[in-house]
Amino acid sequence: MNTLSQNSRVAIIQAGLEWNKTDIELEAGCTYDFSVVGTWMDASIECSADGYPPPELKLWQKMILACFSPLRRVRSEKWFALIGVIDQDMSTAFLIGQEAKGIKVAHSGKLTCFANDVPFKYGNNSGAVTLTVTVTTPTQQAIP
């Protein structure tokens, strides 16, 4: 079992994978800091883990994005924002972006991440970002 101790853990999150299963085990009630470096691409649009659109997008591009935005896996967050879930359960989804500090996890389980995209539009994604997860509260001893 890969429960986080005092140390940070690192995972590579690929833009083209609908589910990036990490081996990072999060524990209910503990608090974590997330930080991300790198950029990734949705077709020809490059962005950070904070997602897009950037302000310089052309009108036709904005119109296409607006049509598809209700189909985003997490509708309330930006395109290509880095999202984390526990054990691939979408009801646990939370925004990581480039940085998220003091995230208290409600469920124990494995961290899975993805770029927020339409489920059938992962084929034109490329690149990867590097995620570092640091536990900021002491880990409880596992109950036998």
Report the distance separating Cα 58 and Cα 81, nearest Å.
20
Beta strand residue intervals within the chain, DSSP E:
8-14, 20-26, 31-37, 40-42, 45-47, 82-86, 89-95, 99-104, 109-115, 125-135
Q: For residues 34 and 40, which CB has a smaller minimum distance to Ca ion in the complex?
A: 40
Question: Closest-CB residue for Ca ion?
Answer: 121
**Site membership for Ca ion, residue 125 (CB under 5 A):** yes
Looking at 4, 27, 34, 42, which residue binds Ca ion (CB under 5 A)? 42
| Amino acid at position 83, single letter | I
- Where does this chain touch Ca ion (CB under 5 A) — which range of 20-28, 97-105, 109-117, 126-134? 109-117
Least spacing, CB of residue 133 vs Ca ion, in Å: 25
Segment near Ca ion (CB under 5 A), from 64-72, 84-92, 95-103, 114-122?
A: 114-122
